[in-house]
Structure 1
């Protein structure tokens, strides 16, 4: 299974202007990430290597969450990630369509191979509004920890890559293998959008929102900021006929990887709105509803809590 992954392992390309890079989970823990508990916010605890002291099991009351270091210097350092430590977290699972496929998930802070990548921080959103190509939306879109993934669907009969799923914020899309950009043999490009880290199979711009040339920007581009997932990966879970692996303690942490949204979307947009002309103000107002749909208001969860961990991609 690992050899199969190496044959198709994607190259993760960050945007050339990306400020919030991925890191390994251990780098995040070792550089001061903190575990908070409701009612004891004044005494957060450092996270032990591998997440050994993280609570296990469900947390319906939202008692626990992770956050950046408390000091400004530590927060700044950790929020920008560490490309040198970044690694893909791989989950092998049986195919869900009549057993004809094997899925590999790769986590990028997430083939039927699932491949997950971790980012300590998700940066602020920008928008295109009318003739204004790029408008910063203040703190909108910011949150601690970000898990993104691609899923590689491989045919069991001949081991051929059939299609790839790219996660994009709260959703994603399947892309046929014929539409991938192959970089090195059978290995393809996985583009990560600037600040938001949504995945895509090609560079370019996509706007999320009402349409007609305005919306939240997703910018993808090639750069020399790249992670070779085939060279830097850890198999964290396997199911079905794949050999069982020892799962890291942090994988069983089911509470939030970041606090609930720490800003008021309406207030942040209002700061931007006052600099726009009348018609553009109305366009921006239409984006407010879209913003929370795209980014959510709660802290992010880890890979094992996602519906697609054991089920099919949407």
Structure 2
């Protein structure tokens, strides 16, 4: 995820009680619904930009091109093939929707509240042009959409966009087929938005230059179709999950016994891409370090069911 090239960001707070929103929802509650049924019912439709060059790819398929390395005391990923420059493009960076997965986390926050977090992995994030530099390229990219349920009725949706995002009430969320939120995916950087168009999300060089995402009507991906979902369930507010693959572990400094430390399945992964390289402007470089993964994000590690969707 390209970190915001910004000083400050917009924070969207949820307003109104869950109960009041639940009464206005057109979706009927059923106490007998299983997690998998709810995950499929509220899975989003993703609409990519017409000029998108870097699509998702499943974690397993991406691992063929990546290896673990110890970096700053924690294991992270890097490309097996060395990058010749900060703007190098390897063939697998393009991704492949036919070989992609969405990682759906069903997280029970309390007796009433459940968050379903739909995570998408991309092999590459394309940065932004700032004068004669391209800033913020990075290997690996994670973005997500969260649907919050109260008593199994949807109340809010959160669209992630880099280090921020937007929370919306369910009734105001664009949907298809009544239950599937629609998210527009920004060209190259993959931030999620409720509508197509131009989205200013940050500033660079002392707020002199807008940092902008663009979305439009391109390829449509209904992620609930064609076995595109991998499901992880937590009944203890994200402390443990079933199943729990090695890359979801949180001990970033160890390797599973019997595994090669370079094997991407050999243990937890802190950063999902190469270390930063090139000219840097503050915290932003021509090639940024890869992002942290779902196991390190607030949407997984949140401790209070009363906090806004994230």
- 2:117 corresponds to which of 90, 105, 126: 105
Structure number with the higher helix fraction is 1
Residue 176 (structure 1) aligns with? 169
Residue 245 (structure 1) aligns with? 242
- 1:264 corresponds to which of 264, 279, 293: 279
Residue 142 (structure 1) aligns with? 137
Displacement of 1:245 after TM fit? 2.4
- 1:230 corresponds to which of 203, 212, 224: 224
Any unmatched runs of 5+ in structure 2?
1-34, 250-267
1:202 aligns with 2:195: yes
Residue 211 (structure 2) aligns with? 216
- Counterparts of 2:203 and 2:57 in 1: how far apart (Å)? 34
Instruction: Give the length in aligned residue pairs.
Output: 245
Whether the 8 Å contact between 1:87 and 1:227 is mirrored in structure 2 is no
Displacement of 1:34 after TM fit? 2.1
1:9 and 1:63, CA in 2 relative to 1: closer, same or farther beyond 3 A? Answer: closer
TM-score (norm 1): 0.69
Any unmatched runs of 5+ in structure 1?
39-60, 107-115, 128-134, 267-288
1:70-114 residue CA offsets vs partner (Å, 9 max, x unmatched): 167996211111111111101111236xx43211011xxxxxxxx
Displacement of 1:241 after TM fit? 9.7
Displacement of 1:306 after TM fit? 1.1
- Counterparts of 2:97 and 2:49 in 1: how far apart (Å)? 13
Residue 123 (structure 1) aligns with? 126
Displacement of 1:143 after TM fit? 0.5
TM-score (norm 2): 0.70
Residue 163 (structure 1) aligns with? 156
